[in-house]
């Protein structure tokens, strides 16, 4: 099988799959239109986020048997059309779930204990203790929306903090020793901390908006390592200013480019997030560790090898 590799990834992908009988062409610079002219030659495509594989693209990929995305989400692929076309879709959320879970916990601890702020103050000769009094996770209720690979890994990390972990998911009977499944209404009533672990779909676009926030019973901390467009930024900013959201740790932003390479626009709401002491912003790196780079690649290799063994 001939595979087109459209993004740079860990070299173990090409090394191991070549040894198993696959052949590769690497193309990290061609435009959408340039790739379109040759995609019909390939049996498989391995991507991250650089090029969208929309219906038009897939219609040109007459011989395509699989698309493998080195990552969790599939929003840059026309999933419905791919499935109708008999194309197998492969992703690798198992590879970066632990990295995501550690960042959720790490940024939350920094946020709730004002660690970054107080460190910067001390480095600038400012010594404030009472003003930097922290807030403990112990005794709080953590609410997760989405309980797939990422949500479960996050719940495991919270298990040693003496807190209650609940979650809502559209699938039933997912509860385990680390978290209890509840209705969305119950989650809104009980949660002191809210963390998102969702794909971006029509149903989850702007899930967190003015209405959702107003229905939260308590003032709460908010963490988003899912997708930026799960959140209406303007409504989140309003809630932070009003104190309903006590603080936010945002690894993803509504204003990112589709490729996740940089911010796509600037506006006053984004500037508020960047300037606020109540907000931690990171550049879409929650799943981006030294270890996850290798694990993501290995998951892709293993899944392709299992589903498409070569003679």
List active site positions: 227, 256, 284
Alpha-carbon span 173 to 182, nearest angstrom: 10
- Distance separating alpha carbons of residues 223 and 107, to the nearest angstrom: 8
Q: What is the CA radius of gyration of the chain?
A: 21
DSSP 191-226: -SEEEE-----TTTTT-BSHHHHHH-SS-EEEEE-S
Hey, CA dihedral for 299, 303, 306, 311, is it positive or negative? negative
State the alpha helices, DSSP H only, in the chain.
Answer: 12-19, 32-36, 55-59, 79-84, 97-112, 115-123, 149-158, 184-190, 210-215, 233-242, 268-275, 290-307
283, 259 contact by CB (below 8 A): no
Structure tokens at 289: 């560790």
């Amino acid at each position: 099988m001939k595979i087109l590799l459209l993004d740079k990834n860990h070299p173990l992908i090409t090394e191991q799959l070549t040894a198993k009988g696959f052949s590769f062409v690497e193309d990290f610079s061609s435009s959408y239109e340039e790739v379109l002219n040759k995609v019909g030659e390939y049996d498989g495509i391995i991507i991250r986020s650089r090029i969208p594989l929309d219906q038009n693209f897939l219609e040109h990929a007459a011989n395509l048997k699989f698309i493998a995305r080195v990552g969790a989400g599939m929003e840059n692929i026309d999933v419905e059309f791919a499935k109708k076309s008999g194309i197998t879709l492969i992703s690798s959320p198992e590879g970066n779930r632990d990295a995501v879970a550690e960042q959720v916990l790490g940024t939350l601890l920094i946020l709730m204990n004002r660690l970054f702020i107080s460190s910067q103050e001390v480095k600038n000769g400012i010594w404030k203790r009472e003003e930097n009094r922290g807030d403990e996770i112990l005794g709080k209720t953590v609410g997760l929306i989405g309980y797939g690979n990422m949500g479960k890994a996050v719940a495991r990390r919270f298990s040693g903090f003496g807190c209650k972990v609940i979650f809502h998911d559209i699938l039933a009977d997912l509860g385990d020793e680390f978290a209890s499944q509840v209705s969305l209404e119950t989650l809104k009533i009980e949660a002191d901390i809210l963390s998102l672990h969702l794909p971006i779909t029509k149903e989850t676009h702007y899930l967190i908006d003015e209405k959702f926030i107003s229905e939260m019973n308590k003032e709460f901390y908010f963490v988003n390592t899912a997708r930026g467009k799960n959140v209406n930024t303007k409504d989140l900013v309003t809630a932070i200013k009003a104190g309903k959201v006590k603080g936010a740790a945002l690894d993803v932003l509504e204003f990112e480019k589709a490729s996740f390479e940089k911010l796509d626009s600037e506006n006053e709401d984004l500037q508020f997030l960047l300037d606020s002491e109540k907000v931690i912003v990171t550049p879409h790196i929650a799943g981006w560790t030294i270890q996850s780079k290798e694990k993501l690649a290995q998951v892709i290799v293993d899944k392709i090898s299992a589903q498409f063994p070569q003679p």
